[in-house]
Structure 1
Amino acid sequence: MKRILLVKTTSMGDVIHALPVVEDILQYFPDAQIDWLVEESFADIPRLHPQVKQVFTVAVRRWRKHWWRCQTWREIATVRQAVSAQSYDAVLDLQGLLKSAVMACWARGPRHGYDARSIREPLASRCYQHAYPIAYHQHAVTRMRTLAAMALGYAVPQDRPNYGLSKQHECSKRTAFLAFHATSRDSKLWPENHWVALGQHYAAQGLQMWLPWASASEQVRAHRIAVQVPHAVVLPKLSLQQLANEIPQVCFAVGVDTGLSHLAAALDVPVVAIYTDTDPAFTGVAGGRVAVAVNIGGKGQVPAVTTVLTQLRAI
């Protein structure tokens, strides 16, 4: 049995992108015990995977705001002690940042990561005993799967990723689709009238539009859209775990650049992801082995409703 610690702390989409590493490792080492170090706000993601044994949480985003407080340093000491309490056969820093490399040093075991030419913060590579050259200009899922394969000595996977979360249901029994309309920056939003037109199109075909939300402003936006779309449903406020249970109930999902679009793909739900302010080439939604994910748009682009409908018909 191998004990392996994965260090991938943020953000939601990036943490989801790391899930196929778990499945790759288990394919070659079926008895491996895999633990994960992650930011507290995204801890539900590795917990969704049934084969992740222990999840350690950090709160770097919160600690930065209150670094001078004794409580902050006590929390850091507590998680550091928990991580160092057991030895690992391998510690994989999938994040490749200085902060994650430092946290990887908390663990007892050989540390593996990207070499200085393969990451944005080259200084991080000095924290690893084993550093590997991995081409930067490829999708994040591919980079992380490659790092794990090189570190643990198995062939670099060439197949589509398996996220290990699939809860796929019969599509013929589903009567709704999910609209992930909210995201972290206004520049990533898709116009509300586009969401309304999309919802009205599928309402005419008997499909409900489900609109999740997290913040008060997202709830208001969801209601503005819903009142113009027949039978649209604004979901109650749901935790990540609760939403993960709802996602497999829909026929497909349409989302902007948000972690929830990645989560739908990880749950093997067909996804069309809309990008208006970022390039999806390297961090876009990556489909699993069952359902297709399509990324459209890019920086400074606003995909038309007809473009989204065309892609949905294709998948």
Structure 2
Amino acid sequence: MKSVLVVKLSAIGDVIHALPVSYAIKETYPDAKITWVVEPPAYDLLKDNPYIDKIIVFEKKKFKSFKGFLKNYGPFSKIIRADRYDASLDLQGLFKSAAIVWNAKARLRLGTCNMREMSHKISRPVVGPNSNGHIVERYLDVARALGCKVEKVVFPMEITERDRIGAEGAMQQAGARMENPYVVLAVGANWPNKRWPTRYYAQLSDWLYGMKIIPVIIGGGVLDSTLAADIEAAAEIPPINLVGKTSLKQLAYVIQKSQAVVGGDTGPVHLSAGLGKPTVMVMGPTDANRNGPYGQLENAIEANRPCKYCWKRACPKGLECLSVIHPDEVENKLLALLKNDK
């Protein structure tokens, strides 16, 4: 195996879940050239990865209009076809990823067990032993079908000195030092159903201060800034707010130096699990068996509702999905983790 194309475009959490595939391929085929196609928001996760030789950025917005498609299709196809691939792994399983794989003309085309939008017509779905298990293992089943032995699961993340300095600077500007114990609160999520109530984060923040642990809010974008403001307003003592103040790699370092991370089914929380940090995940519409914190599913707290695992972005019943998970449940889970971490 001399050249492998991996297509996993987005979202950030999904790209994190797929990172072990790059290590698995190099573990078995150390001389293989790995090319990874990704969308811009997740690019930073792959940058400096020692197991990825080439990154191709797919800018989906350029292909949305008919004029844009005509203008960009040829140049992008030329970039994809600059190499000859022995195999391609479609870990996205959608029409857009299938189009990229089709352009690559690899001799062997493999995909995940749950491919959609006719992508299974381009790549062969791999229904492995973990087809009903965690998404990380489903991706690794595709690597196994390629002949990879997968003796250990590694989430490659190369954090540079520049990332460390930037993260420490952001923390200091926000009013805290990394030398002091802190817990990260990942307050945002793309789905409203995946967001724990801000009033609960405020209660948890005050409890952490009472434990002499600094609560640090992370996130990005306008929505997360609004959520952070709501938490600051509801808390007796405002938590440290890093929302929008770090790059992905800087955020990884902030997480790496923390005592633990709390949040919903979202990218930074999956990043925490991948880095091996104690991770408490509050869940409702998605299930821990598939999407929980990898390697520590016992730290997932699922909403006690008959309609859980609905996989709905927003609740059709108008319920606040995760409101049945009270702060004391998270506090008890954190207490056990923090004791074990000492």
Same fold flag (TM > 0.5): yes
Give the number of equivalent residue pairs: 300
Structure 1 partner of 2:212: 206
Structure 2 partner of 1:253: 261
Structure 1 partner of 2:49: 49
Q: Is the counterpart of residue 242 in structure 1 residue 250 in structure 2?
A: yes
Question: Deviation at 1:79?
Answer: 2.2
Q: Is the counterpart of residue 267 in structure 1 residue 248 in structure 2?
A: no
Question: Deviation at 1:281?
Answer: 2.3
Instruction: Name the SS of the counterpart of 1:183 in structure 2.
Output: coil
Question: Deviation at 1:292?
Answer: 7.6
Instruction: Name the SS of the counterpart of 2:84 in structure 1.
Output: coil
Out of 120, 128, 131, the position equivalent to 1:134 is 128
- Measure the CA separation in 2 of the matches of 1:176 and 1:193: 20
- Measure the CA separation in 2 of the matches of 1:280 and 1:78: 41
Structure 2 partner of 1:294: 299
| Unmatched tracts of structure 2, length 5 or more | 165-177, 309-320, 338-342
- Measure the CA separation in 2 of the matches of 1:131 and 1:188: 29
Instruction: Name the SS of the counterpart of 2:35 in structure 1.
Output: strand
Structure 2 partner of 1:100: 97
Instruction: Name the SS of the counterpart of 1:51 in structure 2.
Output: coil
CA contact (8 A) 1:58 1:76 kept: no
Structure 1 partner of 2:66: 68
Q: Is the counterpart of residue 110 in structure 1 residue 107 in structure 2?
A: yes
Q: Is the counterpart of residue 281 in structure 1 residue 289 in structure 2?
A: yes
Structure 2 partner of 1:85: 82
Instruction: Name the SS of the counterpart of 1:86 in structure 2.
Output: coil
Structure 2 partner of 1:32: 32
Instruction: Name the SS of the counterpart of 1:274 in structure 2.
Output: strand
Question: Deviation at 1:223?
Answer: 2.5
- Measure the CA separation in 1 of the matches of 2:239 and 2:127: 49
In the superposition, the TM-score normalised over structure 1's length comes to 0.85
Q: Look up the equivalent residue of 1:2 and give its one-letter code.
A: K
- Measure the CA separation in 2 of the matches of 1:94 and 1:230: 43
Structure 1 partner of 2:144: 149
Q: Look up the equivalent residue of 1:314 and give its one-letter code.
A: A
CA contact (8 A) 2:45 2:157 kept: no
Out of 139, 155, 158, the position equivalent to 1:163 is 155
Q: Look up the equivalent residue of 1:49 and give its one-letter code.
A: N
CA contact (8 A) 1:114 1:133 kept: no
- Measure the CA separation in 1 of the matches of 2:126 and 2:36: 21
- Measure the CA separation in 1 of the matches of 2:240 and 2:186: 13
Q: What percentage of residue pairs aligned between the two structures are identical?
A: 26
CA contact (8 A) 1:296 1:303 kept: yes
Structure 1 partner of 2:336: 314
- Measure the CA separation in 2 of the matches of 1:177 and 1:166: 22
Task: Provide the aligned C-alpha RMSD in A.
Answer: 2.7
Alignment of 1:190-229 (within 5 A): 190-227=196-233, 228-229=235-236
- Measure the CA separation in 1 of the matches of 2:256 and 2:97: 32
Q: Look up the equivalent residue of 2:302 and give its one-letter code.
A: G
Structure 1 partner of 2:194: 188
Instruction: Name the SS of the counterpart of 1:43 in structure 2.
Output: helix
Structure 1 partner of 2:171: none
CA contact (8 A) 2:216 2:241 kept: yes
Instruction: Name the SS of the counterpart of 2:89 in structure 1.
Output: strand
- Measure the CA separation in 2 of the matches of 1:198 and 1:99: 41
Question: Deviation at 1:236?
Answer: 5.2
Task: Give the direction of change, closer, same or farther, for the CA distance of 1:182–1:236 in structure 2 (3 Å limit).
Answer: closer
Cα deviation code 1:64-94 (max 9, x no counterpart): 6x4223x443233322211110112221112
| Unmatched tracts of structure 1, length 5 or more | none
- Measure the CA separation in 1 of the matches of 2:119 and 2:297: 35
Instruction: Name the SS of the counterpart of 2:55 in structure 1.
Output: strand
